[in-house]
């Protein structure tokens, strides 16, 4: 590949090949800083972050508003990279604080292990979900999680419908398996059966009654691999948005059913 890219065996020149490599590397680095290199894009990104938008929302709406103007297109990963790796000084601190999780340094994703370690009996892993779940073309498939308050004293249940990304919240009396099953059942039981087909959850012990939950609601329950939150990334993303309104310092036990009912 190196020889072919630089003139073949007869025309290969090490000095010229090195110069080409440096040029390609520079172009790659510039592409990674597309936001900084385009003032109109940079200004829009900064303004929307300051209004409390998430990087996913910023990237998505810019593409909708400027479908033909590719210079105004970017990705949420590029926005995170701009905030944490390109912006400096006070600007970096300001933009990092605008993000809904407000980390000064971006946390890396840690690849998890695949062993289930037998925590929950009769688990069915996400690898066995039908293709319609992955395609997001069929409504009724949900990703599920709990949002805990500081000290893990109380929690709010989060259900996110995969195709629409629509979140629903439910109040939990406690975090034990019975309370979680009852809360999710209350939230889903009035939804038509054709719109409640599956739940995807992590391997938290609060889901040990998943078989009863599945039988009561007539749906299937799937579990992520251990330490693999990205396998229900839609819910993870919504958790960040919800945390903007339910920060960790709040006592979630004080939130009423009526307050969560619209969501």
More confident residue, 255 or 79: 79
**What domain range is 58 assigned to?**
33-98
Instruction: From residue 217, give the alpha-carbon distance in Å to each of 168, 172, 214.
Output: 16, 18, 5
Give me the helices (H) in the chain, please: 2-5, 8-11, 14-32, 34-37, 39-50, 55-65, 76-81, 89-98, 131-135, 177-188, 210-217, 233-243, 257-260
Whether residue 201 is contained in a domain is answered as: yes
DSSP code of 121?
A: T
| pLDDT number for residue 150 | 72
Number of domains in the chain: 2
Give yes or no: residues 38 and 157 share one domain.
no
pLDDT tens by residue, 35-58: 988 999 999 999 988 887 888 878
Give yes or no: residues 200 and 143 share one domain.
yes
Whether residue 157 is contained in a domain is answered as: yes
Average pLDDT over residues 133-138: 89
Give yes or no: residues 51 and 161 share one domain.
no
Give yes or no: residues 230 and 186 share one domain.
yes
pTM of the model: 0.59
């Amino acid at each position: 590949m190196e020889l072919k890219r630089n003139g073949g065996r007869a025309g290969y020149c090490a000095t010229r090949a090195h110069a080409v490599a440096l040029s390609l590397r520079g172009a790659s680095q510039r592409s990674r800083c597309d936001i900084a290199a385009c003032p109109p894009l940079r200004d829009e990104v900064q303004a929307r972050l300051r209004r409390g938008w998430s990087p996913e929302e910023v990237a998505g709406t810019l593409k909708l508003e400027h479908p033909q103007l590719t210079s105004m297109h970017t990705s949420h990963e590029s926005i995170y990279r701009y905030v944490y790796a390109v912006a400096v000084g006070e600007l970096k601190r300001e933009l990092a604080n605008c993000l809904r999780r407000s980390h000064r340094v971006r946390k890396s994703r840690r690849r998890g292990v695949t062993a289930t370690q037998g925590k929950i009996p009769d688990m069915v892993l996400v690898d066995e979900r039908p293709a319609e779940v992955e395609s997001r073309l069929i409504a009724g498939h949900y990703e599920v999680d709990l949002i805990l308050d500081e000290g893990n004293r109380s929690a709010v249940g989060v259900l996110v419908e995969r195709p629409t990304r629509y979140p629903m919240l439910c109040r939990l009396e406690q975090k034990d398996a019975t309370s979680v099953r009852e809360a999710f059942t209350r939230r889903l039981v009035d939804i038509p059966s054709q719109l409640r087909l599956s739940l995807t959850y992590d391997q938290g012990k609060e889901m040990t009654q998943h078989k009863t939950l599945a039988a009561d609601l007539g749906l299937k329950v799937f579990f992520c691999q251990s330490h693999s939150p990205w396998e229900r990334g839609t819910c993870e993303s919504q958790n960040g948005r919800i945390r903007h309104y339910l920060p960790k310092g709040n006592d979630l036990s004080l939130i009423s059913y009526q307050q969560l009912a619209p969501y």
